[in-house]
Structure 1
Amino acid sequence: MANHMMDFPLNTIDILKSAALRYPEKEVVSALPDGSMHRYTYADSYKRAAQVANCLKSLSVKKGDHVATLAVNHYRHFELYYGISGMGGVVHTLNARLFVEQLEYIINHAEDSYLFIDPEFLPQIEALAGKIPTVRGVIILCDEDKMPESSVFKLQNYETLIKAQSETYEWPRLDSKHPCGLCYTSGTTGNPKGVMYEQGSTVLHAMMGGGSHFLNFDEWTVAMPIVPMYHVVAWGIPFSAPLYGAKLVLPGCALSGENIHRLIEEEQVNKSYAVPTVWLTLHNYLQATGKTIESLKLVGVGGAASPKALVKTFAEKYDVYWMGIWGMTETSPLATGAILTPEMSDLSAEECYELQSSAGKPIFGVEIEIFDANGNPLPHDGVTRGDLRVRGPWVLSSYYKSEGSNSFVDGWFETGDVAVINPEGYLRVVDRSKDVIKSGGEWISSVELENAALNYPAVNEACVIGAAHEKWDERPIMLVTLREGEDYNEDDLKRVLTEKVAKWWLPDAIIVVDELPHTGTGKLKKVDIRNEYRQYLLENYN
């Protein structure tokens, strides 16, 4: 059959090229380590992306080669996204919070050709000297006068390399299946696995993710992705923001409540995206200082369950809409979102908070379903729990180098999440499969217990794990950090929990700690906590 449309695959560089033409003066603003701000336009960034591509060509980087970045959210990382992928290379974003041993494994598994890194991460790379044989050079992302020294690598300066290059580049027209990005899972069990993003899937994700039925970007948007560019492409926002003409604010690595507030106020940020712990940090800062965030209208929240107590706080104290989001490295990552709908105007505030704290409905193109242990679909009644599966045009079909084939069943990707779906299609992830607590043959959701604890004013953060129990196999224990200036009483906390969950779910022990460990993306390190507290009940209550 004859084709009736042009064979014209869209590439990632088309996004920045279009932004430079349609929104040439729209800003990309970056917070730098010295506290200063860097400003330039989409037109400027497009020229520098061309210089990056020419630089890579001069370094003999070819189509399909993997080029790694180890950097936070700033303008140089932004232009690397486009320069590398635009010339046909693969942007491999390295997680800056990984252990050196994990970086070694990932760099070698990906067979990276060059490393573009922020100066502060040089010690981590120096520790790998002699252990990453495919790497041909290390390029430092800083001004020429701020170059660090190294006794083990011959370093090159990013600005020195690109300033000698032309600001124009003959971009190739790449097949939609051509790889453009590589991101590794967190590897909480076994080695991390690579997820390869493609040109076509990335552009489609940017179009759908930034559209009016999801992130809703336009020329009035000032978007600040706090979620790191080194993990899951900052939720695709460095691609979707320029596609729709939004001003882009990149916060660097200074993510204290004070710095986040400063950026929101100075740049008039109206939409921002991060894991729940970031918004908890900002809330604590605002409470301590009495400051406001009047420009901010929406926060997109993913990476962990949305605590309903925080949803309510942001609505009632700050007039900010909390949009629960769900996705994974394997879904590029945006899959579902609790967008504001006209129907919500007919609901009570509490009913709205319930929807906002969910993961929302699937974005166009993504399908979700829950299954029982035998692979049978389960009802969408908002109560029945099942194993969550997902499929769609930007959901992976296999891991890099064909690893983890047991994660794919009948065209679906098995997420490892336990979830419910209500009759209106709203998804609620109740736990990770490995985090569900099985007590006497019955299941207890650690996430629901943690969220219930946040209704008690003195609790700042909560973590629930299953501890070994002589009679019941497992029983929940809860670790909490406390908020300054609030009175804490364990019996009062238990009374609050009883209002939210079944009495037999109540933790057998509540332990107050100074802090809880988190991953580089803000998630609780439950593996570490389980390792430390797994025997707690056997050792203290026998």
Structure 2
Amino acid sequence: MLKDMQDWPLLVSKILEHAELNHSYQEIFSKLPEGGEFRYSMADMAKRARQAAQAFQTLGVKEGDRVGTLAWNTHRHVEIWYAASGMGAVTHTINPRLFPEQLVYIMNHAEDKILCVDVTFVPLVQAIEAELKTVEKFIVMVGKDHMPEGLGDNWISYEEILMAESGEYAWPDLDENTPCGLCYTSGTTGNPKGVQYTHRSNFLHTLIAISGDTLGITAKSVILPVVPMFHANAWGIPYAACATGCKMVLNGPHFEPDVLHDIIIREDVNVTAAVPTVWTGMLQYLKDTGKDMGKLTTVTIGGSAAPRSMIEEFQENYGVRVNHAWGMTEMSPLGSIGSENAAVANLSKKEKLDVQCKQGRTVLGVEMKIVDDEGNSLPRDGKTSGNLLVRGPWVVDTYYRADTRAVDNDGWFDTGDVACIDEYGYMQITDRSKDVIKSGGEWVSSIDLENAAVAHPDVVEAAVIGRYHPKWEERPLLILKMHEGKTVTLEEMHEFLLQHVIKWWLPDGIEFVDELPHTATGKISKKDLRDQFKDYKFPGT
């Protein structure tokens, strides 16, 4: 077929080359797991990535091999990310918060050839080392002076293998459909599933991530991706930062509010991204200390819904815009973003906040629809809820090493979320399909109830699950983690919730816990709560 335009391959290495050529001066700041801080330029990072690629070749890594990483967000992790992908191997980011048996399953299923490990995770890997069938070398991401003692011959220092290479390396001209990244789901049901990204899918995802209406990153931004690189590619930010040439600030193993706040102020961070639990702690820290957020203007929150009270507090008290983002590991991960469009800009303050509490409008490249249980499309009226389906060039087609496709015959992927879409195109998750509470034939949104409950000033975290009821089949049970020394009765909570939800949604029971269980990606684990309260009986039944 004739063509008039050049067939320029969309490769991850092109993003790095662009950064080195056009933003060589830009700074990357990193908190180190072994202690201390590190600064260098994008040009430095690009050279060290080439050295890492050479070192991996010396260790026998070939095109298509998996290079595993068990690491925090640091400059070394970014180097390895680009090095493995750029040379034609696959960067396999692994979530260290998974259970050891899940880690063993994932690394064996992926057949990782080498494993790059932050020094904090060396004991974790040592405990499972004998069960890892394919890993030939363990690379500790430190210099020789910080190498732990007593490691075997197959454990080597990252800085040492880099020093042995020149960096005189040319990135290969790969097919853009070559695999370059691998990330596994958290495996809440059955074994974790692998999602393998291609150079093309990651490049296209980056083009959307850097648009003004998505993550809001420009060449003048200073971005802090608190969301880890092992959590759905840190939402694509390490690619986006190099694509725009913005300063990238990496927090390493530090998620404490005081440390994050110090970094934000000291490094002039103006854009950041993380899950809601990070910002719950930050808001409490700000209240306790009376401090502000410096130059921070935009917080992108994903992973789970941010409570309305959190959005209001950030904006009213600290002048920080909160944008919801929604996506999945299976979507690379961006699917929608809560930035304001022209129609919403003309709404009242309350109406704007109503829209802002939704998960946002679809980004270009992702198609989205809601359907009923028979697969019929449902209207975009902001009221009708249905099963949320997506498709697009960075949405999974087939899980890694799976026998069947993950999509239907038309390419639609069932997200497992229940949602509605309004007339402006803003989507709102109303529940997970397995978390929907059906009471007397009507749906109760556990997410809306949770967001309403956590707005109570004495509540730290809230979760809602459905439990058996002899009359209504299911009713909501509210489970709360309270601020120290605080409590609330069911009646008092009902009175508070009636300001936010309809009466028949009110929970029939309330329970208090010291801590709510969380999944490896930081979400509240409803599965664990359902197990914990499986024999629960509502008062009076």
Equivalent residue, structure 1, for 2:125: 125
TM-score (norm 1): 0.97
CA RMSD of aligned residues (A): 1.6
Deviation at 1:341, TM superposition (A): 3.5
In the aligned structure 2, how far is the partner of 1:131 from the partner of 1:513? 36
Q: Confirm or deny that 1:158 pairs with 2:158.
A: yes
2-side partners of 1:228 and 1:404: how far apart? Answer: 30
Secondary structure of the 1:78 match is helix
Q: Which amino acid aligns with 1:39?
A: R
Residue 43 of structure 1 corresponds to 43
- Name the SS for the 1:415 alignment partner: strand
The answer (yes or no) to whether the contact 1:407–1:415 under 8 Å persists in 2 is no
Amino acid at match of 1:313: E
- 1:48-447 alignment runs, 5 A limit: 48-150=48-150, 154-403=154-403, 405=405, 407-447=407-447
What is the letter of the counterpart of residue 136 of structure 2?
Answer: R
Cα distance in 2 for residues equivalent to 1:541 and 1:135: 57
Superposition deviation, residue 305 in structure 1: 1.3
Shift of 1:216: 2.3
Task: Give distance in 2, aligned partners of 1:294 and 1:152.
Answer: 47
Kindly state the Cα deviation for residue 484 of structure 1 after the two structures are TM-superposed: 4.8
Query: For residues 524 and 267 of structure 1, what CA distance do their matches in structure 2 show?
Result: 31
Deviation at 1:454, TM superposition (A): 2.2
What amino acid maps onto 1:483 in structure 2?
A: H
The alpha-carbon deviation at position 439 of structure 1 amounts to 2.1
What SS does the corresponding residue of 2:312 show, helix, strand or coil?
helix
Q: Which residue of 2 aligns with 1:493?
A: 493
Q: 2:186–2:520: 8 Å Cα contact kept in structure 1?
A: no
Q: 1:224–1:271: 8 Å Cα contact kept in structure 2?
A: yes
Cα distance in structure 2, aligned partners of 1:259 and 1:408: 46
Post-superposition offset of 1:36:
2.3
- Quote the offset at 1:7 in angstroms: 2.2
- CA deviations over 1:289-342 (Å, ceiling 9, x no partner): 111102110000111012111111111011110001100001100110011345
In the TM superposition, residue 483 of structure 1 has moved relative to its aligned partner by 3.0
Alignment: residue pair count: 541
Shift in alpha-carbon separation, 1:213–1:275, aligned structure 2, 3 A:
same
CA distance in 2 between partners of 1:19 and 1:402 (Å): 36
Identity level (%): 46
Does the 8 Å CA contact 1:30/1:74 hold for their aligned counterparts?
yes
Moved more, 64-73 or 124-133: 124-133
Partners of 2:227 and 2:168 lie apart in 1 by: 31
What is the distance in 2 between the residues matched to 1:541 and 1:126? 52
Give 1:216's aligned amino acid: G
Q: Residues of 2 paired with 1:349 and 1:449: CA distance?
A: 22
Return closer, same or farther for 1:493/1:457 CA change in 2, 3 Å cut-off: same
Q: State whether residues 306 and 358 of structure 1, in contact with CA within 8 Å, keep that contact through their aligned partners in structure 2.
A: no
Per-residue Cα deviation, 1:462-511 (whole angstroms, up to 9, x for no partner): 01111233333322111112235867454332112122222221111111
Q: 2:453 corresponds to which residue? A: 453
Q: Distance in 2 between matches of 1:305 and 1:150?
A: 45
Q: Is the 8 A contact 1:19 1:43 kept in 2?
A: yes
Measure, in 2, the Cα distance between the counterparts of 1:409 and 1:429.
25
Give, in angstroms, the shift of residue 81 of structure 1: 0.7
**Could you say if the C-alpha distance between residues 541 and 135 of structure 1 is closer, same or farther in structure 2, counting changes exceeding 3 Å?**
farther
CA distance in 2, matches of 1:249, 1:410: 41
Partner of 2:480: 480
Mapped partners of 2:296, 2:403: distance in 1: 42
What is residue 507 of structure 2 aligned with on the other side? 507
Deviation at 1:148, TM superposition (A): 1.0
Q: Say if 1:20 and 1:282 are closer, same or farther in 2 by CA, change over 3 A.
A: same
Distance of aligned partners of 1:37 and 1:357 in 2 relative to their CA distance in 1, 3 Å threshold: same
Distance 1:495 1:409, change over 3 A: farther
TM-aligned CA deviation for residue 345 of structure 1? 3.9
Matches within 5 A, 1:496-535: 496-535=496-535
Supply the distance in 1 between the matched residues of 2:448 and 2:206 (Cα, whole angstroms): 32
Contact 1:138-1:153 within 8 A present in 2 as well: no
* Contact map agreement 1:463 1:478 (CA 8 A) in 2: yes
**8 Å CA contact retained: 2:12, 2:199:** yes
Deviations 1:320-370 (A, max 9, x none): 100011000011001100113454442222212112211111111111000
Cα distance in 2, alignment partners of residues 403 and 260 from structure 1: 43
Q: How far apart in 2 are the matches of 1:414 and 1:388? A: 6
Q: Does the Cα contact within 8 Å between 1:455 and 1:496 map onto a contact in 2?
A: no
Deviates more, 1:364-373 or 1:509-518: 509-518
TM-score using structure 2 length: 0.97
Report the CA distance between 1:440 and its aligned residue: 2.7
Quote how far apart the aligned CAs of 1:229 are.
Answer: 0.5
Q: Secondary structure at the match of 2:249?
A: strand
**How far apart are the structure 1 equivalents of 2:358 and 2:244?**
26
The change in CA–CA distance for 1:524 and 1:264 in structure 2 (over 3 A counts) is: same
Show structure 1 runs of 5+ residues with no match.
Answer: none
Q: 1: CA distance between counterparts of 2:110 and 2:126?
A: 18
- Measure the CA separation in 1 of the matches of 2:540 and 2:125: 46
Distance (whole Å) between structure 1 residues aligned to residue 363 and residue 164 of structure 2: 43
Query: Please, which moves more after superposition, 497-506 or 22-31?
Result: 497-506
Task: Please state how far the C-alpha of 1:52 moved relative to its aligned partner.
Answer: 0.5
**Cα distance in 2 for residues equivalent to 1:137 and 1:198:** 25
Q: Distance in 2 between matches of 1:194 and 1:149?
A: 34
Counterpart amino acid of residue 40 in structure 1: Y
Deviation at 1:175, TM superposition (A): 0.7
Deviations along 1:12-36, one digit per CA (max 9) or x if unpaired, are 0111111111111111111123552
Contact 1:73–1:252, Cα closer than 8 Å, also in 2: yes
Measure, in 2, the Cα distance between the counterparts of 1:512 and 1:199: 47
* Structure 1 range deviating more: 286-295 or 33-42: 33-42
* Secondary structure, aligned partner of 1:139: strand
Moved more, 496-505 or 411-420: 496-505
Is the 1:228–1:521 contact (alpha carbons within 8 Å) kept by the matching residues of 2?
Answer: no
Contact 2:34/2:146 (8 A) holds in 1 = no
1:485–1:532 CA distance, 2 compared to 1 (3 A) = closer
Output the CA distance in 2 between the equivalents of 1:352 and 1:37.
40
